[in-house]
Amino acid sequence: MYQDHFSLSASSPASAAPPNMPAPLRVGLLGLGTVGGGTLAVLLRNADLIAARAGRRIEVRMVAVRNLERARSVLGAHAASLHLTDDAQVLVHSPEVDVVVDVMGGTTLARTLVLQAIAAGKHVVTANKALLAEHGSEIFAAAQARGVVVAYEGAVAVSIPIIKTLREGLTANRIEWVAGIINGTSNFILSAMRERGLGFAAALTEAQALGYAEADPAFDVQGTDAAHKLSLLAANAFGTLPQYAEVQAEGIEDLQAADVDFAARLGYCVKLLGIAKRRGQGLELRVHPTLLPAGHLLAQVHGSMNAVMVQSDAAGTTLFYGAGAGAEQTGSAVIADLVDLARSASLLPHQRVPALGFARGVQAGLPVVGADEVESAFYVRLDLSRPELAAPRVLQQLAADGVRVERMAQYPHPADPELQCLVLLTAPVRLRTLRPALQTVEGWPEVMGFASLLRLGF
Amino acid sequence: MYQDHFSLSASSPASAAPPNMPAPLRVGLLGLGTVGGGTLAVLLRNADLIAARAGRRIEVRMVAVRNLERARSVLGAHAASLHLTDDAQVLVHSPEVDVVVDVMGGTTLARTLVLQAIAAGKHVVTANKALLAEHGSEIFAAAQARGVVVAYEGAVAVSIPIIKTLREGLTANRIEWVAGIINGTSNFILSAMRERGLGFAAALTEAQALGYAEADPAFDVQGTDAAHKLSLLAANAFGTLPQYAEVQAEGIEDLQAADVDFAARLGYCVKLLGIAKRRGQGLELRVHPTLLPAGHLLAQVHGSMNAVMVQSDAAGTTLFYGAGAGAEQTGSAVIADLVDLARSASLLPHQRVPALGFARGVQAGLPVVGADEVESAFYVRLDLSRPELAAPRVLQQLAADGVRVERMAQYPHPADPELQCLVLLTAPVRLRTLRPALQTVEGWPEVMGFASLLRLGF
C-alpha cells in the first residue's frame, strides 16, 4: 500500500518478502496535527522495517480531523488510500479499526473519545499526558474492564522508552526515586539563561521563536506539564494510580537570571526536575527548579533534551536520555506501542504487561509528603544593604533556628549598586524549619526583602 | 516460602494479598557464583514486589553447582527449600523447571547445557555474552525450532535494559548507529588513567585490587568482552545474527598514559567504544579506544559505569546509562527476563518479542567494512628528535598524501628530554590513506618511531 514511499536499501532485512504474514494491525488516527503527522510519516517511511520487527504490517486505515481540507493537503497522495473523516465517532466505532491512536490533545473531547473507543473494544495508544494524568484512573479502569490495552509511551519523554523501562526493564527492583528533566521547554529556557546569561523573559521569547515553547507557555513554565508526566512515572515506579493532583509543582517562571549566574559561580546548574521519591510509607512528588552540581549527569542535559534518572535497589543508578518532544520523536514512541500491540492485541490480560506496571495490588495513591516536610539542601539569596553587619547576624539567626549553612558567598547585586547579594547553601533541612528563620531575618531593616529560595539536590 | 526475607513496607502494593494468582514460574539456576547469588538474593528480597508486577511468583526450585558444600554455605537456610544438585543434567531435564537460567559462564559446557535445556522444552535466560556472541546463531535457531525463548538482557550493560530498548523501544526507527561504553573494566582503567595520571599497568592493578578486573584481564582489556556485547547490540539494531567473528576489536592494553594526558590537554577524553554503524549496504563493527570531546555525554561516564548511545531516524539521539556489571545489577536484568517470561511463557512464537528483535527477514550477516576503509578523524603522535625541522616536513608529507591536519600541538616527551611529542588531529580520513603517509615519515631519521594512532570520534 505504501511501498512507493519506502526507501530501505535492497539488502536490509525488511526487504525480505513477507510470506504468510498475519493480517495488518489496523490503526485509526484521532488527529493529524504535529504528532499525528509525524507518526504517519514514520509509519509510511519505515513500513517494511516496522513490519519486519512486528511480524505484521501496521496500517493507518482511518484518520479523523476537524479540518478535512487541511488534512488532505497534509496527506497528499495518501488521502486516497485511507478513510478520512471529520466525524470522530465514525472512527472510534469503526469495525475497520483495531487500535485508536489519540494524538489530538486536550482532555475533554479526548477523554470522551478514548472512553468510547474502549467501550467499543478498541485498544488505545495515546501521547496525551494531560489526559492520563487527570483522567488516567477512570481510563485505565475502563480499559481493564473491557479487556483492552491503553498504551502511552509517547506521553513521557518521547524518544526515551521510559515507561517500558520502568514497567518491564526494572521489574526486579524496589525503586527508590525517579528524577527527571521532563519538560523540554523549561530545559531549553534554563540552558539559554545559563549559557548566555539571558533573563527568563528573553529566553522564553527565543524559545517561542524557535518553536520550543507554545504561544501560551503556562503549561510548560509553570511546571504543569512536568507534573503530568511525573504522575505517570511515579505510578509505574511505585504501583499507584496517577496522583497528579498531589504533585507539588513549581515552574521556572519566577527564576531570576542573577540566581542562575550565582549558582553557576558556585559550581551548580539550575534544572527543572520532576522528583518522585519514597519516603517512609509515602512519597515525595514534586516539580521545581533544582540546583545540581555542574558535573552531575543531569546537568549535562542541554537545550530541549530530556533525561530521567532512576535509583533502584538492584540496578543502582540508571539514566535514560533523549528528545522530549517533536513530531517524529513522539511518533517513535506511539509506533513502539503499536508494535507491542501487533503482538499482544489478541492476548489475555494476564499475558500482557499491565497498564501501570503492576498486575496486582495497584493502590489508588500513597500519602504525599507536604512541601514543608521535604528535606533538602537549599540555595538562599538575601539582598543586603549593609552586608558587613547583616551577614553575620543572618548566619547567627539561622544557626539559632537550627539551619546549618554549609557555604556562603557575596556578589554585587546585578541591578542595584547599593546592595550585596548574600548567597547561602544550607545543609539538608525542612522548609518547616527554614521558613520561619528566613521570615525573621526578612523583617530586619538591612535585609532588603527576601530574594530567592531554591532547592539544592534531591 | 521466602516471606521471611521480604522487607517491603506494609503499605506497599506488594503487600496486597495475591488471591488466585497463577502458578509460580519455576526457575532452575545453572550456577551459583557472583551472578547466580545476586539473582537469587534479589528474587528473595523483592519476591512479593516482583510477583505483584509479574502477576505470578517467580521461584527458584533447583540450583545446579559444581561444589555442593560451597553452595550450601551460600544458600544458608534456603538450601532446605530448593533442590540443590551437582548434576546439571538433572536440572535441564527436570519437570520441576520451566526456565533454565544460565549464570555459569564459559562457552563449552554452557553451550551443551543450554542446547539440552532448549531440546527439553525449557525457556532459557542467560547473562552469558560470550556464549551468545559465539554460538548465538545455533542457539537461537534451536530455540526457534523448539518454540522456546532465549532471553539475554543480562548479557549487555546489565543495569540498562538496552536489549529491550533496541528490540521494543525503538522499533519504529531505522537505527543509524550504536556506540557504547560496554566494558566497565576498561572504563574504570581509563578513568583512573585520566583522572589520576596512572599508567595502564598501575590502573589495571588497582582495578584488580578493587574487583573491577579479573586476575586474567585479557577478555576485558583486549576488547573481546566489548566485541561480544557489540555483536548482540548490532544484531538487534540491524536485523542480523550475531557477527562476533567480524568485529574489529582493539583493546586498551597498549594505550599510553602520555596520550591520555595529551588528549586531555586538547580537550578530549579517551573511551573504549563499541561501535556498530550502517555504512552503505554493510556495517562498521568495531571496538577501539576513541577520543571524544570532553563535553560529550559519553565522556561523562566514569569509573566502571556503562552507557550506550543510539542514533536513529525518528527518535534521534538517545543514551542509556547504568552499571555494566555486578551481582545484583546482573540479577536485575535476569529477573526482568523472567518477569517477561512469567507473562509470555505460554504464548505462541508470533505473540512474543523475537529473540533478535526481528520477526522476519533476519539476515545471517551484513558485510562488515574493513578497518582500512572506516573513515574517521585520527589522533596521531610522533616522537621527534628535531621538531623544528621535522614537524613542518611531517605536515607537508601528510598533505601531499591527502591527509588534512586540523590541529597540531607539541608536548615534551614524558620520559626522554631529548624528544618532543608532535600530536596531530586529522580531518576524517581512511586508514588506507593515512597509514602509507605515516609509514613514509616513520622512516625519517628525526622521527623516533611511530608512537600512537587513535581514532577520534565515530
Mean pLDDT by 10 residues, chain A (458 residues): 28 46 95 96 98 97 96 92 96 98 95 98 97 97 97 98 98 98 98 96 96 94 98 98 97 97 98 97 97 97 98 98 97 98 93 95 93 96 93 96 97 94 97 95 87 94
Classify residue B301 by its DSSP letter.
Answer: -
Question: Quick check: helix, strand or coil at residue B16?
Answer: coil
On the question of pLDDT at B387 being above 50, the answer is: yes
Q: Tell me the three cell numbers of residue B27.
A: 526457575
Q: Is B359 on the interface with A (CB under 8 A)?
A: yes
A42 contact B CB<8A: yes
According to CATH, the topology of domain B373-456 is Alpha-Beta Plaits (3.30.70)
CA distance A109 to A113: 6
- pLDDT at B9 (0 to 100): 30
CATH of the structural domain A372-456, one choice from 3.40.50.2020, 3.90.1150.10, 3.40.50.740, 3.30.70.260 = 3.30.70.260
Inter-chain contact B239–A361, Cβ cutoff 8 Å? no
Q: Up-side HSE of residue A197: CA atoms within 13 Å toward CB?
A: 3
Task: Give me the residue from A15, A55, A363 closest to B13, CB to CB.
Answer: A363
User: How many Å apart are CA B132 and CA B241, to the nearest integer?
Assistant: 10
Q: Which residues of chain A are in CATH 3.30.70.260 domains?
A: 372-456
The residue written with cell numbers 527449600 in the block is B81
* B348 close to A (CB below 8 A): no
Point out the residues of B that are catalytic: 229
CB contact (8 A) between residue A332 and residue B164: no
Span between the terminal Cα atoms of chain B, in Å: 51
| C-alpha–C-alpha distance, residues A301 and A321, integer Å | 8
3-state secondary structure of B427: coil
Which of A169, A335, A361 comes nearest B161 by C-beta? A169
pLDDT at residue B449, as a whole number: 72
pTM value is 0.95
List the grid coordinates of B101. 537460567
Q: Which residue of B has its CA nearest to A19?
A: B360
Question: Are the beta carbons of A281 and B55 separated by less than 8 Å?
Answer: no
pLDDT at residue B19, as a whole number? 57
Contact A290, A271 (CB under 8 A): yes
Distance from CA of B321 to the nearest CA of A (A): 5
Q: Which of residues 379-438 of B touch A (CB under 8 A)?
A: none
Contact at CB, B366 and A11, closer than 8 angstroms: yes
What's chain B's average pLDDT?
94
CA–CA dist A193, B173 (Å, integer): 33
**Record: contact B165-A168, CB cut-off 8 A:** no
User: What count of other Cβ atoms lies within 10 Å of the Cβ of residue A347?
Assistant: 18
pLDDT of residue A196: 95
Residues of A in contact with B161 (CB under 8 A): 164-165, 168-170
Q: Is B297 in Cβ contact with A314 (below 8 Å)?
A: no
- pLDDT of B437 higher than 90: yes
One-letter identity of residue A66:
R
- Helix boundaries (H) for B210-256: 218-221, 224-238
Confidence at residue A19, expressed as pLDDT on a 0 to 100 scale:
57
Q: What is the dihedral of CA A219, A74, A114, A322, to 10 degrees?
A: -50
Neighbour count for residue B343 (Cβ, 10 Å): 25
> Is residue B16 over pLDDT 60?
no
DSSP string, B305-365: EEEEEEEETTTEEEEEEEES--HHHHHHHHHHHHHHHHHHTTS-GGGSPPTTS-SS--BS-
A10 burial class (0-12, 13-18, 19+ CB within 10 angstroms)? exposed
In sequence order, the β-bridge partners of residue B175 are B312
Dist. CA B405–CA B398, nearest whole Å: 8
For the segment B321-344, what is each residue's pLDDT rounded down to a tens digit? 999 999 999 999 999 999 999 999
Residue B30 parent element (H or E):
strand B25-30
Closest CB to A170 among B332, B340, B354: B332
Q: What 8-state DSSP symbol labels residue B24? A: P
Fold (CATH) for B165-323: Dihydrodipicolinate Reductase; domain 2 (3.30.360)
Q: Which of B319, B352, B363, B369 to mutate to test the interface with A (most CBs of A within 10 A)?
A: B319
Asked if A240's CB is within 8 angstroms of B357's CB, the reply is no
Specify the pLDDT at position A305. 98
Cell of B366: 551484513
B270 has pLDDT over 80:
yes
Give the C-alpha separation, B292 to B305, whole Å.
16
Q: Are residues B66 and B86 in contact, defined by beta-carbon separation less than 8 angstroms?
A: yes
Contact B55 A314 (CB under 8 A): no
Residues paired with residue B271 on neighbouring β-strands, in sequence order: B290
- The residue among B343, B363, B366, B368 with the most chain A CBs within 10 A of its CB, best to mutate, is B343
Does residue B364 belong to the interface with chain A, where contact is any CB pair within 8 Å? no
Residues 6+ apart with CB under 8 A from A80: none
Residues of A in contact with B170 (CB under 8 A): 161, 332, 336
Q: Can you give the pLDDT at residue A13? A: 41
The one catalytic residue in A122, A129, A229, A271 is A229
Q: What's the CA gap between A127 and A138, in Å, rounded?
A: 17
Where b means 16+ CB within 10 Å and e means fewer, A57-85 reads: bbbbbbbbbeeeeebeebbeebeeebbbb
DSSP B22: P
State the Cα–Cα distance between residues B353 and A340, nearest whole angstrom: 8
Give the number of other CB atoms < 10 A from CB of residue A138: 13
* Residue ranges, CATH 3.30.360.10, chain A: 168-322
CA-CA-CA-CA torsion sign (B67, B73, B74, B75):
positive
Q: What DSSP designation does B166 have? A: I
- Between chains, do B13 and A314 touch, taking CB under 8 Å as contact? no
Residue A180, chain B, CB below 8 Å: the answer is: no
Portions of chain B given CATH number 3.30.360.10: 165-323
Q: Is A293 on the interface with B (CB under 8 A)?
A: no
Q: Where in chain B is the domain with CATH 3.30.70.260?
A: 373-456
Indicate the residue type of A279: R
Q: Does B21 touch chain A (CB under 8 A)?
A: yes
Nearest of A355, A310, A320 to residue A143 by alpha carbon: A355
Could B169 and A336 be called an inter-chain contact, meaning their C-beta atoms sit closer than 8 Å? yes
| B366/B368 Cα distance (integer angstroms) | 6
| Distance from C-alpha of B323 to C-alpha of B310, rounded to nearest angstrom | 17
- The 3-state secondary structure of chain A, one letter per residue: CCHHHCCCCCCCHHHCCCCCCCCCEEEEEECCCHHHHHHHHHHHHCHHHHHHHHCCCEEEEEEECCCHHHHHHHHHHHHHHCEEECCHHHHHCCCCCCEEEECCCCCCHHHHHHHHHHHCCCEEEECCHHHHHHHHHHHHHHHHHHCCCEECHHHCCCCCCHHHHHHHHCCCCCEEEEEEECCHHHHHHHHHHHHHCCCHHHHHHHHHHCCCCCCCCHHHHCCHHHHHHHHHHHHHHHCECCCHHHCEECCCCCCCHHHHHHHHHCCEEEEEEEEEEEECCEEEEEEEEEEEECCCHHHHCCCCEEEEEEEECCCEEEEEEEECCCHHHHHHHHHHHHHHHHHHCCCCHHHCCCCCCCCCCCECCCCECCHHHCEEEEEEEEEECCHHHHHHHHHHHHHHCCCCEEEEEEEECCCCCCCEEEEEEECCEEHHHHHHHHHHHHCCCCEEEEEEEEEECC
CATH architecture assigned to A168-322: 2-Layer Sandwich (3.30)
Q: Which of A18, A172, A319 sits opposite B46 (nearest CB)?
A: A172
Ranges for all domains in chain A classified under CATH 3.40.50.720: 3-160+328-351
Backbone conformation region of residue A76, classed left if phi is above 0, alpha if psi is from -120 to 50, else beta: left
Amino acid at B141: A
- In the block, residue with C-alpha cell 508486577: B53
The pLDDT of residue B242: 96
- Is B14 part of the contact surface with chain A (CB cutoff 8 Å)? yes
Which residue of chain A has the CA closest to B10? A281
Helix axes A47-54, A34-45, angle to 10 degrees: 80
From the list B125, B98, B96, the residue with the least C-alpha distance to B31 is B125
Q: Does B358 touch chain A (CB under 8 A)?
A: yes
In the block, cell 568485529 appears at B247
Nearest to B11 by CA among A364, A356, A369: A364
CATH number for the domain running over A3-160+328-351: 3.40.50.720
Q: Please classify residue B206 by burial: count the beta carbons closer than 10 Å to its beta carbon, then call 0-12 exposed, 13-18 middle and 19+ buried.
A: middle
Is B240 within 8 Å of chain A by CB?
yes
Contacts of B55 in chain A (CB under 8 A): 350, 354, 359-360
CB–CB of B306/B186 below 8 Å? no
Residue B324 pLDDT: 95
Please name the residue that has the C-alpha cell 582493539: B250
Does residue A7 belong to the interface with chain B, where contact is any CB pair within 8 Å? Answer: no
**Interface contact B68, partner A, CB < 8 A:** no
Among the partner-chain residues B11, B169, B295, the one whose CB lies closest to the CB of A164 is B169
Confidence of residue B55 (pLDDT cuts 50, 70, 90): very high
User: Model confidence over B201-240: pLDDT tens digits?
Assistant: 999 999 999 999 999 999 999 999 999 999 999 999 999 9
Residues of chain A with C-beta less than 8 angstroms from the C-beta of B9: 280-281
At A300, the amino acid letter reads: Q
Q: Give the torsion sign (CA, A263, A264, A268, A273).
A: positive
Contact between B92 and B122 (Cβ < 8 Å): yes
